[in-house]
Amino acid sequence: MGHAYTPGLKVTEKVLLTKKRILPLKGEVLVKVGDKVKPDTVVARTLLPGNVEPFNVANVLGIPPEDIMYHMLRKEGERVKQGEVIAKSKSFFGLFSSECKSKAEGSVESISSITGQVLIRGNPIPVEIKAYLEGEVMEVYEREGVAVSSWGSFIQGIFGIGGETHGEIKVVVKDNTEVLTDKLIDRECKDKVIVGGSLVTADALKKAISMEAKGIVVGGFDDKDLRDFLGYDLGVAITGSEELGITLVVTEGFGQINMAEKTFSLLKSKQGKMACINGATQIRAGVIRPEVVIPYAGDVHKKEAKEEFENIGLTEGYPVRVIREPYFGHLGKVSALPPALQKLESESSARVLEVEFQDKTKAIIPRANVEMLEE
């Protein structure tokens, strides 16, 4: 068999993208089908329930829990302000009194005569969902959200941190092999998505934040710098919720790895264009890849003939990236697909392929150790 499916990263000049923008809870959709939207356009909004604060009123007043109802000044469902007296008791013929004040603003959720506790529900938390892309609303899900479509260039990365943002592309390195250092970042990088080469240093990342850059797209990033930058080991957690002041998309892997020539050339050709980027990454079940989307004008209703990437098999001549040592990060093309199982150094047997690297050397590699690069 000379044909097999291998997962891979998309790097494509033109593709029709559709993103679903869904609320965490049902709320209000603010746009309709056919509306043109920008990345910052709010397409839907809702209110999340506020946090619950428990107060042991019985302990504060020094009364039995079953007597709490006689001393409450606010009933369930009523609004309270922070510092407002919500319960009061008197003793010794009214000569002495005790008060319980609310430590939060919100409403009385429940009053328990068993525990003597009162739960205060904080004010609702407003949540807004933005379009993320520049495009057109293709579908509306009642009270839930929308689907936004746009033609654009699309690049998937290996790893990222930080959430959704957008900015003008600014290439600050000469080629895909150059390291992105802090010396290459200046005030002109404000609100820009900076494109680097083989590596971004920790100092460059910190300077980009100080210069108020929106994001960085680069080939590699040192895992020690990542740990120092985050302040903790990432492990297998999902990323994207970090509030670091910048979004980072790593296209190749950890360490100093040249950005793929095709990826760098595509980004360089789009310099000055707006890019929408998202660093969210999940490497376990339900894989989420960081991405760079560069929208451009085009009729989203026009269907163009194109191969679906997911249906492409691994064939000779197809570009791949090695994702395991000892050739981790190397790019090449499939030069042969032996059909039979071959014994590996580990004594196990697996299907393999032959890869011809960019320096014309060749290596036999298990098929599970490569991923496809979309042509």
Looking at the structure, tell me whether residues 240 and 342 fall in a common domain.
no
CA distance 39 to 95: 64
Locate tokens 């943002």: which residue?
165
- Domain membership of residue 39 (yes or no) is no
CA distance 193 to 251: 14
Looking at the structure, tell me whether residues 273 and 331 fall in a common domain.
no
Looking at the structure, tell me whether residues 272 and 319 fall in a common domain.
no
Which residues contact residue 30 at a Cβ distance below 8 angstroms, ignoring those fewer than 6 apart? 42, 43, 44, 45
Looking at the structure, tell me whether residues 178 and 84 fall in a common domain.
no
Tell me the angle at which helices 202-210 and 223-230 cross, rounded to the nearest 10 degrees.
Answer: 40
Looking at the structure, tell me whether residues 282 and 183 fall in a common domain.
yes
Beta bridge partners of 122: 106
Nearest 5°: the CA angle 187, 188, 189 is: 85
* Domain extent for 79: 52-122
Looking at the structure, tell me whether residues 276 and 355 fall in a common domain.
no
CA distance 293 to 276: 5
Q: Which helix (H) or strand (E) holds 106?
A: strand 106-111
CA distance 194 to 80: 48
Looking at the structure, tell me whether residues 168 and 220 fall in a common domain.
yes
CA distance 196 to 181: 9
- Domain membership of residue 151 (yes or no) is no
Instruction: Answer whether 246's CB lies under 8 Å from 214's CB.
Output: yes
Q: Let me know how long the chain is.
A: 375
Looking at the structure, tell me whether residues 212 and 280 fall in a common domain.
yes
Q: Considering 273, 289, 305, which residue would you say is the last residue of a domain?
A: 289
Looking at the structure, tell me whether residues 329 and 212 fall in a common domain.
no
Looking at the structure, tell me whether residues 331 and 208 fall in a common domain.
no
Q: For position 311, what pLDDT does the model report?
A: 42
Which residues contact residue 335 at a Cβ distance below 8 angstroms, ignoring those fewer than 6 apart? 316, 354, 355, 356, 362
- Domain membership of residue 38 (yes or no) is no
Q: Considering 98, 122, 146, which residue would you say is the last residue of a domain?
A: 122
CA distance 111 to 217: 53
In 10 A of CB 368, how many CB atoms? Answer: 13
CA distance 257 to 250: 10
- Domain membership of residue 295 (yes or no) is no
Looking at the structure, tell me whether residues 162 and 220 fall in a common domain.
yes
Mean pLDDT in order along the chain per 10 residues (375 residues): 49 91 96 96 95 92 92 94 91 74 92 94 94 95 95 92 96 96 95 96 94 96 85 74 91 89 94 96 78 87 52 71 79 85 76 86 85 68
Phi, psi at 274, each rounded to 5°:
-80, 135
How many domains does the structure of the chain reveal?
3
Question: What are 197's two structure tokens?
Answer: 């080469």
Q: Considering 104, 122, 140, which residue would you say is the last residue of a domain?
A: 122
Question: What are 77's two structure tokens?
Answer: 């469902």
Beta bridge partners of 120: 53, 108
Q: Which helix (H) or strand (E) holds 264?
A: helix 261-269
CA distance 74 to 100: 11
- Domain membership of residue 137 (yes or no) is no
Residue 104 belongs to a domain with what CATH number? 2.40.50
Beta bridge partners of 106: 80, 122
Residue at 113: amino acid letter: S
CA distance 207 to 215: 12
Residue 262 belongs to a domain with what CATH number? 3.50.30
- Domain membership of residue 61 (yes or no) is yes
Residue 319 belongs to a domain with what CATH number? 2.30.30.30
- Domain membership of residue 354 (yes or no) is yes
Looking at the structure, tell me whether residues 240 and 200 fall in a common domain.
yes
- Domain membership of residue 8 (yes or no) is no
CA distance 78 to 100: 16
* Helix, strand, coil abundance in the chain, percent, nearest 5: 15, 45, 45
Question: What are 106's two structure tokens?
Answer: 């919100």
Nearest to 350 by CA among 366, 362, 339: 366
